Amino acid sequence: MSSTNSNKKPLNEQNREVMLSDSDINSIIVNGAQISLMKLRRARSTDARLCYYAEIGVYLEVSLSRGAGITDETLETLEEIHRIATHEYMDTRKLEAMADN
């Protein structure tokens, strides 16, 4: 059920786009990458770690989009998160390989 006003369209027909500022987008991307890094560190399986590593890569890829309002500071932060994730993932893979031998 939608409420109506005599001068307005019903709520379900109104354009209610959420306006995000550039700083909101930057925060969302960095926070998402940080969450994925935490999940990568806690993951128990190789497949799960690979999935979270890939998520971080996607956040980094999105940050490279021109015109998306991504700041240089955000890009640098994502590059650092990706670097850390790469080392974490590779170190874990090395330990698993050594344990298998």
CA dihedral 88, 92, 95, 97 (to 10 degrees): -130
The whole-number pLDDT of residue 24 equals: 85
* 38 burial type by CB count under 10 A (0-12 exposed, 13-18 middle, 19+ buried): exposed
- For the stretch 3-58, pLDDT in tens is 545 557 776 666 656 555 556 889 999 999 999 999 999 999 999 999 999 999 99
The whole-number pLDDT of residue 6 equals: 54
Q: What is the pTM of this model?
A: 0.73
Top-confidence residue, 21 or 87: 87
